[in-house]
Amino acid sequence: MRCSTLLSFAIFSLGGAAALLGEQKVCTVAASGTNKTDDAPAIRSALSKCNNGGRIIFEPTTYYVNSVLNITGLEDVDIDINGKLLVGPVFWSTDIPYWLNHSLPYGYQNQSTAFMLSGNNVRLNGHGVGNLDGNGDYWYQWIKKQPNTSNYPGRPHQITLNGLTNSVIRGLSFFRSQMWTMSIIHSHNNVLEDILVNNTGNVVSSSNTDGANTLFSSNITFSNWTIHNGDDSIALKANSTNISIRDSKLYNGLGIAIGSIGQYKNQFETIENLRVENVQFFNTLHALYMKTWTADQNGYPPNGGGGGLGYAEDMHLKNLTVSGLRGAAFSISQCTRFSGAPGVGNCTNSRFQIRDVEIDGMVGTTKSKRVVSLQCSAEAPCTDITLENIDVKLTNGSVAGDYLCGNVVDSKGWECTGKVCESGSATGEC
């Protein structure tokens, strides 16, 4: 690692005077140049030495990360990822047993991560070329051979923003994440923009390769994201508030997800104030779908649960464009069960309520006749569901005309045309 200083000037208003901030310490992370050497210690050292007002520079080369990164307590730092760095087939080690035993728990659903990042006023910039490669091809082939292919213990997320506040992450690409790409928990007032996620496997693809998930977080803006994956594109989970998704393109996954939620028995959780605008969906299963667990608890997270309480409300989406949807454009299933699979149980007893959802402007094509498929709870019916300016056609040019629903009250701008299927679902409909 090389350290130097850089003159940094900033003007700010303080009684009408201009202030000079002074010299900024700069740390350049030296790469080992070989996958036999773990670059994680050098990364940790640079971030520590140039914390509190400094700048950390990654050079245009490959850094080999063979151990977990737990970066906490950052304050007022610039992190520049220049050129094609943190890339290649061995960014994250191929040592799967190591990661299963050492990935970092982050306190929800018994899940874990390879890279924990927290702090305040962090400015992480990939300048359109920096990227992280999760070495997912090894994981995707390995997980298909396991009896549990969903939420396998220790299978890490690529990066977790845990307690990150007042920060901006921009211009980065994420390739072949081990599992979820980005989990955002206990984080507030962050902008995540100009981000590419591509979790398409070179050999096989995998489920649980979500683009991003928010939990216990607020005031998070996703702007100009492009996501290629096989699961939730972006998902809002427990206690996500004031989330904005705009000017983004989503490919081949399940679409924007609310949930799953209601997984923890008797625990009250909410999702509030989602704004989605100018988002395009290409060959996704849905544009928007919502999934809650039933009131019956079966097992424990991550693959079991149920019996949770709460509500999701104030969700407004406008100017959506869809191309070749594979299922209902807008779907609700309140019948997530143990292991996320169909089975016996009550699909209408969830105590988690969905209300105040508006979609204003959705145009494009679909392979499904179902515009909506809303399987809501009889215990807490869905209320105030508004659909306006919907123009979705089948690929043969005919209008998609099925609006299926159950336990929906106070709908606006549309009428139910038939009964919805009631069956266990992990992906939004039967």
Supply the residues annotated as catalytic: 231
Decide if 253 contacts 233 (C-beta within 8 A). yes
Q: Could you give the dihedral angle defined by the CA atoms of residues 66, 158, 270 and 373, in that order, rounded to the nearest 10 degrees?
A: -150
CA pair distance 10, 91, nearest whole angstrom: 36
Taken in order 326, 147, 215, 179, is the CA torsion positive or negative? Answer: negative
Reduce the secondary structure of 300-337 to three states and give it as a string. Answer: CCCCCECCCEEEEEEEEEEEEEEEEECCCCEEEEEEEC
CA pair distance 387, 203, nearest whole angstrom: 40
Decide if 106 contacts 118 (C-beta within 8 A). no
Q: Hey, what are 8's tokens?
A: 């940094």
- Hunting for tokens 């606006």 — which residue is that? 412
Q: How far is CA 178 from CA 195, 206, 370, in A?
A: 17, 9, 33
What stretch of H or E contains 100? Answer: helix 96-102
Q: Is 369 helix (H, G, I), strand (E, B) or coil?
A: coil
Residue 256's nearest CA partner among 315, 303, 314 is 315
